[in-house]
Amino acid sequence: MSPERARTQRITQRAGVRTTSLRSIGMPRGLLVRVDASAHPIAVARADARGQRHAESRVEQVEEVWRVAEAWWRESTQARTYYRVILEGGRPLTLFRDDATGAWFEQAYSTPGHTTAHE
Amino acid sequence: MPTLRINAPSRSIACLAIPSLAFQCELVEHPGLLGTPVALSDEAHSRVADLTPEARRHGVRAGMTLRDAVELCPTLSILEPRPALVARFARDLVEAMAAVSPLIEEAPAAEGGAGVVFADLRGTEGMYPRLGDLKRAVFAGVPPQLRAQLGVADARFTALRAAYRAEPGAALHVPLAEAPAFLAAESVTHLPLDIDTVERLQLLGIETCGPFAALPRHAVEAQFGLEGGVAWLAASGEDPRPVRPRPWERERVVEHVQAEPPLVSRETVLHALEQMLGRALRQPRARHRFVRLVRLRAETERGALWEREQVLREPLGDRTRLWTLLRSIVEYAVFPGPFSLVTLELAGLTDESGRQHSLFVEQTRRREQLDEMVRHLKVRFGESPLARVVDVEPWHRLPEHRRALLEYDP
Does residue A10 lie within any of the structural domains? Answer: no
pLDDT of residue B364: 65
Q: Which element (helix H / strand E) includes A112?
A: none
pLDDT of residue B393: 81
Q: What is the mean pLDDT of residues A56-68?
A: 91
ipTM score of the complex? 0.76
pLDDT-derived band at B353, boundaries 50, 70, 90: low
pLDDT-derived band at A1, boundaries 50, 70, 90: very low
Does residue A4 lie within any of the structural domains? Answer: no
Instruction: Looking at the structure, tell me whether residues B178 and B189 fall in a common domain.
Output: no
Are B400 and A107 spatial neighbours (Cβ–Cβ below 8 Å)? yes
Instruction: Looking at the structure, tell me whether residues B280 and B337 fall in a common domain.
Output: yes
Lowest mean pLDDT among B123-127, B206-210, B365-369: B365-369
pLDDT single digits (tens) B170-229: 889 998 889 999 999 999 999 999 989 999 999 999 999 999 999 999 999 998 888 999
Chain B hits for A3, Cβ within 8 Å: 29
Does residue B293 lie within any of the structural domains? Answer: yes
Helix (H, G, I), strand (E, B) or coil at A28: coil
Distance between CA B214 and CA B274 in Å, rounded? 60
Is A48 an 8 Å CB contact of chain B?
no
pLDDT single digits (tens) A20-54: 667 888 889 989 999 998 889 999 998 777 777 78
Looking at every residue in chain A, the average pLDDT score rounds to: 77
Instruction: Looking at the structure, tell me whether residues B179 and B210 fall in a common domain.
Output: no
Instruction: Looking at the structure, tell me whether residues B197 and B155 fall in a common domain.
Output: no
- Domain with residue B221: its CATH number is 1.10.150
Q: How far is B369 from chain A (nearest CA, A)?
A: 22
CB within 8 Å: A26 and B268: no
pLDDT of residue B169: 87
Does residue A63 lie within any of the structural domains? Answer: yes
Helix (H, G, I), strand (E, B) or coil at A12: helix
Instruction: Looking at the structure, tell me whether residues B132 and B61 fall in a common domain.
Output: yes
pLDDT of residue B6: 39
pLDDT of residue B249: 59
CB within 8 Å: A19 and B389: no
CB within 8 Å: B257 and A18: yes
Instruction: Looking at the structure, tell me whether residues B261 and B384 fall in a common domain.
Output: yes
Instruction: Looking at the structure, tell me whether residues B77 and B220 fall in a common domain.
Output: no
**How many domains, in total, are found in chain A?**
1
Instruction: Looking at the structure, tell me whether residues B262 and B376 fall in a common domain.
Output: yes
Helix (H, G, I), strand (E, B) or coil at A3: helix
- Provide the domain limits for residue A102: 22-106
Instruction: Looking at the structure, tell me whether residues B398 and B280 fall in a common domain.
Output: yes
Asked if the model's pLDDT at residue A55 lies above 50, the reply is yes
- Provide the domain limits for residue B190: 184-235
Asked if the model's pLDDT at residue B75 lies above 60, the reply is yes
Helix (H, G, I), strand (E, B) or coil at A14: helix
